Homo-oligomer: A and B are copies of this chain.
Amino acid sequence: MPRQNLNIRQLAEKAGVSTSTISRVLNNSGYVRQEVRAHVERIIAETGYIPSGIAKHLKSSRSNMVGVIIPRINSFASSEITAGISTELAESDLMTILGNSANSPDAEMNYIEIFKRQRVCGVIILATVLTERHLEAMNDLGVPVVVVGQDASASGFPSVLQDERRAARQITDYVLRCGHRRVGLIGVADWDVQVGCERKGGWVDALRAAGIEPRPEDIALGGFDLTDGAAGIDRIVPFVSDTTPTAVVAVTDRLAIGAMSRLLERRTRVPDEVSIVGVGDIDVASVYSPKLTTIHFDYFGTGKAAAEMLIATLDGETTDLRRVMPFDLRIRDSVSILD
């Protein structure tokens, strides 16, 4: 029966006690005689009374809502991170409020304001870019903020990051160890600090460490789509010859798959004629044919870590200002051994 939800006063009346006693029973605070507690609990069960969290938080002025800003929830990494965040928050009875920013800085700013209005107790932001305006707004928020995917520790915000540069370096090292000397790069624009700069940087590091100077003509920069991967490979390896790269590092798995898909259309064999690697280990990487050699990131764990850091801050504990997530190399079938 869909009963009218009553309030604490009506309940108190029904139970023949004061509202404070109800409140004490509800929150297990203060002293309540055992019998009274039992009686109140029975009335609560009978009436199906559910207290208003909103009124409670108005009073205590600290809510249990955490705002989470996500650029694009319908992507593998984002959705895993979100799952990690909300799972961890739920453990501490915190609610996840979703802010889908669709990669628009304006929408992000807007959500920061909305979250402030809702008096969230904290915010987790997955940003591809963090401008001065963002940082300022995050400061003005007046509640703890944790950043995922960008390093904002210099501005005082706890950040959890992938070790992008070392990851890219490591997979490039692997390609080099397989005997490839001419290794191309399918990357993304530089304004994306992590994927754009850092992963590209790791590729450069690896090449230089092997005494190879990266060549501009072996680099293709674009967006994040499958088609960008296809366009990239067409640019770097328009045909297979002695003068084109024998291997290509794509900075994301999606780009790598776009590239492999294009090569298949061109009837170029992977890895026999061209080797391809990615970064990220999205779920299809391991079932694509050939199975993609890539870097595995723990996105779910990343989300969990961010939530942990936020909770710690909320509890007044101190946390690291930077947490760098581990990664590992998943060697599969998309790289040929040349030596």
Question: Could you list which residues of chain A lie within 8 angstroms of chain B, going by C-beta atoms?
Answer: 1-5, 48, 50-55, 57-58, 63, 65, 68, 72-76, 78-80, 82-83, 86-87, 90, 95-100, 102, 113-114, 116-119, 139-142, 226, 257-258, 261, 264, 284, 287-289, 300
List the 3 closest pairs (A to B, CB-CB), nearest first.
A79-B79, A96-B98, A74-B83
Chain B residues, Cβ within 8 Å of A98: 68, 82, 86, 95-98
Given A90-B100, A257-B284, do A95 and B83 touch, yes or no (CB 8 Å)? no
- B284 contacts A142, C-beta separation under 8 Å: no
Inter-chain CA distance A57–B58, complex, in Å, is 10
Given A54-B57, A90-B100, do A95 and B82 touch, yes or no (CB 8 Å)? no
Given A83-B100, A98-B86, A100-B83, do A264 and B289 touch, yes or no (CB 8 Å)? yes
Chain B residues, Cβ within 8 Å of A300: 74
Number of copies: 2
- B3 contacts A140, C-beta separation under 8 Å: yes
A153 CB to nearest B CB, Å = 18
Query: Which of chain B's residues has its CB closest to A87's CB?
Result: B100
Chain B residues, Cβ within 8 Å of A54: 54, 57-58, 63, 118-119
- A86 contacts B73, C-beta separation under 8 Å: yes
Query: Which of chain B's residues has its CB closest to A77's CB?
Result: B74
A79 CB to nearest B CB, Å = 4
Sampled A-B contacts (27; CB under 8 Å):
A3-B140, A5-B116, A48-B140, A50-B116, A50-B117, A52-B117, A53-B117, A53-B119, A54-B57, A68-B98, A72-B83, A73-B86, A74-B79, A74-B80, A82-B98, A86-B99, A86-B100, A95-B118, A96-B97, A97-B97, A97-B98, A98-B98, A226-B287, A257-B287, A261-B287, A264-B289, A288-B288
Query: Which of chain B's residues has its CB closest to A100's CB?
Result: B86
- A97 contacts B100, C-beta separation under 8 Å: no
Inter-chain CA distance A55–B63, complex, in Å, is 12
- B118 contacts A53, C-beta separation under 8 Å: yes
Chain B residues, Cβ within 8 Å of A87: 100, 102
Query: Which of chain B's residues has its CB closest to A90's CB?
Result: B100
- A139 contacts B2, C-beta separation under 8 Å: yes
Inter-chain CA distance A1–B2, complex, in Å, is 48
Chain B residues, Cβ within 8 Å of A96: 97-98, 100
Inter-chain CA distance A226–B289, complex, in Å, is 14
- A113 contacts B50, C-beta separation under 8 Å: yes
Given A54-B63, A54-B119, A257-B284, do A114 and B95 touch, yes or no (CB 8 Å)? yes
Chain B residues, Cβ within 8 Å of A139: 2
